Amino acid sequence: MDGLKGVTLAGDNVFSARTWATWKGVYPVLFLQSPIEDMESLGRNGAPQFTVTTTLVISARVEVKTLPRNAGAAQATLELEQIQNQIKIALINYSPLMSQLQQYPFIRSEISVSSEGESELAELVMQIGLEFYQGPEDFYPVPTTALEQMDISSDLTNVVDTTGVYSDAAFPDSVIPAPRTVGPDGRAEGGLLIDLPSQE
């Protein structure tokens, strides 16, 4: 929605489905919603992968005074055609959106005009396809536990107790049985305790 604010004749009069209720009846206006999503599988084997196409529907509305010989309807149509072009330019050049997409697979537009008393109310409806990829990383987020501390112990090979037996060896399977001439012997000759900064 941010990419369409201030770049068309509607100015900042741009509303998503969540904010429609805040519209104060001022024209021109843009209403945005995404009512349709299609997911096409990239194959039967392996992890789930999809090409996803979301349809962004933009409804642009203008109101002009009714004029003789349908001049008001013509003016409203011209304004909507201008808004249509402004929307295309804005979306295609909006890098925060483009960086998330593979392409715009389609753009469909339709303009309609209706007379209501002293005014002409005209509407442009644009359906814009937004194609992007979704893979297993989008469906199976891996739960993680924050690493808060590292405890490093060193049982060296070149520092050795030739006959000692240590029941509390950190890695008993790695200990060379006594008598021995090289380590590891089961005792820690050095260590380091590191407190890691919080990631919050």
Q: What are 33-72's pLDDT values in tens digits?
A: 999 999 999 998 888 999 999 999 999 999 998 888 888 8
Q: How far is CA 96 from CA 36, 93, 186, in A?
A: 21, 9, 56
Q: In terms of DSSP bridges, do strands 149-154 and 107-116 run parallel, antiparallel, or are they unpaired?
A: unpaired
So what CATH class is 2-139? alpha beta
Q: How far is it, in rounded angstroms, from Cα 24 to Cα 16?
A: 14
Question: Mind listing the pLDDT tens digit for each residue in 68-108?
Answer: 888 888 999 999 999 999 999 999 999 999 999 999 999 99
Q: Which two tokens stand for residue 92?
A: 């295609």
Task: Write down the pLDDT at residue 154.
Answer: 78
Most confident of the following: 12-21, 155-164, 165-174: 12-21
Q: How far is it, in rounded angstroms, from Cα 197 to Cα 200?
A: 9
Q: For the residues 165-182, what does the mean pLDDT come to? A: 81
Burial 67-90 (b: 16+ CB within 10 A, else e): eeeeebbebbbebbebbbebbeeb
Task: Write down the pLDDT at residue 200.
Answer: 56
Quote the radius of gyration of the chain (alpha carbons, Å): 33
Q: How far is it, in rounded angstroms, from Cα 157 to Cα 61?
A: 79
What proportion of the chain, given as a percentage, has pLDDT over 70?
98
Q: Which two tokens stand for residue 132?
A: 């992007």
Task: Write down the pLDDT at residue 131.
Answer: 97
Q: Which two tokens stand for residue 161?
A: 């107790």
pLDDT class of 128 with cuts at 50, 70, 90: very high
Q: How far is it, in rounded angstroms, from Cα 197 to Cα 194?
A: 10
pTM above 0.75, yes or no: no
Task: Write down the pLDDT at residue 199.
Answer: 60
Burial class (CB in 10 A: 0-12, 13-18, 19+), 97: middle
Task: Write down the pLDDT at residue 148.
Answer: 80
The neighbouring-strand residues paired with 6 are none
Domain(s) labelled CATH 3.30.70 in the chain stretch across 2-139
Mean pLDDT rounded to a whole number for the chain? 88
Q: In terms of DSSP bridges, do strands 29-41 and 50-65 run parallel, antiparallel, or are they unpaired?
A: antiparallel
pLDDT class of 26 with cuts at 50, 70, 90: very high
Q: Which two tokens stand for residue 111?
A: 């303009």
Task: Write down the pLDDT at residue 103.
Answer: 95
